[in-house]
Every structure is written in structure tokens, then in C-alpha cells.
Homo-oligomer: A and B are copies of this chain.
């Protein structure tokens, strides 16, 4: 089996050789712009890895991988409008470089291209893949809705369960889906397709919690950016929700006090970190990541192929989560 980097290279070559074609520049230029911004190509590579695990047809898997990367970029274009994000991968977002209407419409057109890509799958796989993909696409919309709702809900109305549900829908399901589609194209059994879905889903949840964790607890030498950005912004992260759930009495009062400090203050970060330490939030986050990581590994373990073939996915799981262990 090829490894992660090789498949990423192969995918990048493929996507560059297959730009979205069309005469209308106003519609297609923004699409090819975002597709060429690069990124880690995690989702298409997962699709290709799962397909290799079950020894499927590589060309067909590549078509599906491209569809998945189209979908991911469609969702980025529209999410960036909603989040009013100026930058994406260090470059201007589509709505910034062009305008809102161009971002809406070229996003829509890219969404159609997803399904035109899926049309290229064999009749044997098309219906099953469509079913998995549509379900996931709808969940991703729900995840974005939950994320937007989150901002308007008071902390005492939220819970860690609800937070996990949000990151599950917004991010993790598409990782599971990418793997599952690769498995379906390789004619994996229904059980194995579900196992690999669960591997990706749980890995995705662990990874998102890690993302929150690193903002507060990373080794700054490795992390490469200032700690506490989420704390300054009062972002409703796993850590803040865990702290709010655990804190009572004076701790809760201090938490509420810190959340009212809206300035970018080093003191706010330090005091919040001290409170996190007192409430043992680092351990809560580590435990939770460990739980989802273990769920991912045991799903991978249940898959009916040799350990050797699973090694690349195991390596991936370890490398994604290595920084905290």
C-alpha cells in the first residue's frame, strides 16, 4: 500500500490535471481558485486509503475522492461567508476576493460538480455511495447550523454532549464518509464499511477536541503560535464547556468574571489557565480524546483484513494525535 504522502501527491496531481471546466469565468474562476489553494487533502486521501485497504479500483476511487474534495471546498466557500472569514489557507476567501453573490453561486455550482463527479461511478456503487454521501452532506449542514446556534446560546444551556454532537456533524462525519465511500468502491462488506466509518468518525472527534486542547495546553515550541486565542475570544470550546460543567461556587463566579473581560489580556489567559488547572480540565480533555481514539482503534481492529494492511491507517491515527500523548 502507498502511504499517506504518496496518495496526497497522486491526488494533487489528479485535481490539478482536472480543473473544473466552463466558459463563464465569473462562475468557474472562483471554483478553481479555492481548489488550488491546496490544504491537506485529508478527506480524498482517506477515501483512497480505504479503497487500498480493501483493494478496490483506483481510478474509480479517485473520482469519488475528487467529489469529496469538491464537497469540502463547497462547504468552505459557504461557511466562510457565514463566518465572515477574510482568509482561508492564508489567502483571501472567495467572498472577499470577489463578493458575496459570487461566493454563493460558485459554491452552488461546485456542489453540482460533486454530483457530476459521482455520476462517473459504476452503476453497482452509485446508489450506495449516493446514500452515504447525501446523508453526510445533510449532517454537515446540520453541524454548521448547530455551530451558528452555539454562539447565541448561554453557557449554562450547553453541555459537552451537545458540543460533541456539533463537532461530530460539522467535521467528523465527513471523515467517516470519505473512508466509507472508498470501502464501498472496493466492495468491502457492509460491516467493514461501517467499521471504517466508525474509525474515521471517532478519530475526527478526537482530533477536534485536540484542536481545542492545544490552544490551552500545547508546548508553544511545537505549537508555533500563541496559546489562549480561544480563551481571549470566549470561544465555546470543549475546555470552556468542561470547566463550566465542573465549576461551582467561587470557581463558577471567577469563570463568569473572566468571560466578561473582553479585552485581549495576557492576565485573562493566565487566570483562565490557572482555573483550568484547578478544575483538572487538561485531564478531562485528555480522557475524552483517549476515549474517542480508542473507539477509532477498536473499529479499525474489527476490520477483516491483515494487520499489515491496516498499518498506514494506524500510522495516520497516531500521527494526527501524536502531539498530546
| Residues of A bordering B, CB below 8 Å | 22, 24, 26-27, 78, 81-82, 100-101, 104-105, 108-109, 111-113, 115-116, 118-119, 123, 126-127, 130-131, 134-135, 137-138, 141-142, 144-146, 148-149
Contact = CB atoms under 8 A, between A and B. Distances in A.
A109 B78 CA distance: 12
Most chain B CB within a 10 A radius of its CB, from A82, A104, A109, A126: A104
A113 B100 CA distance: 24
Q: Would you call the interface of chain A mostly helix, strand, loop, or mixed?
A: helix
6 contacts: A78-B108, A104-B104, A105-B145, A116-B134, A119-B130, A123-B123
Contact of A145 (B26, B134, B137): B26
A306 to B, nearest CB: 34
Contact of A138 (B81, B100, B113): B113
B112 A134 contact: yes
A146 B112 contact: no
Contact of A26 (B82, B126, B127, B149): B149
Instruction: Sort A-B residue pairs by CB-CB distance and give the 5 closest, nearest first.
Output: A109-B141, A82-B101, A112-B137, A27-B145, A116-B134
Nearest to A117: B134
A82 B111 contact: no
Contacts of A130: 115, 118-119, 126
Contact of A22 (B26, B104, B118, B142): B142
Contacts of A112: 134, 137-138, 141
Nearest to A144: B105
Contacts of A26: 145, 148-149
Nearest to A134: B116
Contacts of A22: 138, 142
Contacts of A108: 78, 111, 141
Given A27-B145, A119-B134, 5 more contacts: A22-B142, A78-B104, A113-B138, A116-B138, A119-B130
Contacts of A141: 27, 105, 108-109, 112
Nearest to A84: B101
Nearest to A110: B141
Contacts of A138: 22, 109, 112-113, 116
A111 B319 CA distance: 36
A143 to B, nearest CB: 10
A127 B123 contact: yes
Nearest to A104: B78
